[in-house]
Structure 1
């Protein structure tokens, strides 16, 4: 009897260990959950939104224009920012009179609801292995992004994943 109990305990221990290792691997390399803190991505994302972040896609490819990504804050290790990719390697990004220009052409940005209020940005060439990111909230000082030296061009190595879906938005919750 004790032999059977010991055998089952060992088996359950292996099952638990396998499940734990699998969960860690999935979180590290496949998908993770993230919570938005702040308003830099309004109107697309709201403070408190729960996001599903796809890490798998960027293991084998690079971000594209329009992708919403998460990346480690270059100034504060362990803190992550969420922004939209507006420029990929080779693009020349500029801001003139409240409008974003990509390669000399006015960029179409249906996801924003206001002109860029932070002033002009001189043409910046996006270097290989980096992306130019901006928050969707273009009100003055609303987003710390590639326009500012504290973030600058984001190297691929700092990108943790691509936001795929809003799992839950607390502002839509209501008590009955």
Structure 2
């Protein structure tokens, strides 16, 4: 009988720890691994970062220049189920990868007019000061976007090697999974 109580105690302790780690990972903080070179020189391939999930939990916009984790599948709605299954514990248990998650920098918020011209990014007619860039953008064509309501525009720091809003489009607020700490 004493052994049964001990086993039950261990199982309940493990279950409580599992639930607490899920709550922390879904709502508060989560580790991510940088996959690729789109954020060079700021972040490097395979670097680990911690992300605050508070902006996602409470649905508020990140600031200009914040580095955020996004779900690049902008053509589909996200649900709470996605938040649960995207937790590292479930990723490990289900043997899934998070290749749909990109880490990028916030360049534009709703209502902003963004332009690419003369190998630079302009927000509302003002060229951005971007000391984190390593090289000049090789974009040759002038382009312009107006960020719609409830969306942001993101770009990688390695502008010449980045799948970002120039390719995948505007990022809905619910696809911004968190902000790098």
Q: Based on CA coordinates, which of the two structures has the bigger radius of gyration?
A: 1
**Which of residues 123, 126, 134 in structure 2 aligns to 1:113?**
134
Q: Which has the higher strand share?
A: 1
SS of residue in 2 equivalent to 1:28:
helix
For residues 48 and 75 of structure 2, the distance between their equivalents in structure 1, rounded to whole angstroms, comes to: 22
Equivalent of 1:158 in 147, 165, 175 = 175
Q: TM-score, normalised by structure 1?
A: 0.83
How many residues of Structure 1 are paired with residues of Structure 2 in the alignment? Answer: 158
* Shift of residue 56, structure 1, vs aligned partner: 1.9
1:40-119 matches, within 5 Å, as 40-60=38-58, 61-74=60-73, 78=98, 79-119=100-140
Cα deviation for residue 73 of structure 1 reads 1.8
SS of residue paired to 2:158: coil
Give a deviation string over 1:110-147, Cα, whole Å, max 9, x none. Answer: 111222112334221111110000000022xx001111
Structure 2, gaps ≥5 residues long? 77-97
Root-mean-square deviation (CA, aligned residues, Å) is 1.8
* Normalised TM-score (structure 2): 0.81
Q: 1:147 aligns with which of 166, 170, 174?
A: 166
Deviation track 1:43-100 (CA, whole Å, cap 9, x = no partner) reads 1011110111111233222111101111112279952111100001111101101011
Deviation at 1:32, TM superposition (A): 1.0
Counterpart-to-counterpart distance in 1, 2:67 and 2:174: 16
- Give distance in 1, aligned partners of 2:15 and 2:75: 33
Moved runs in structure 1, 4+ residues, more than 4 A? 75-78
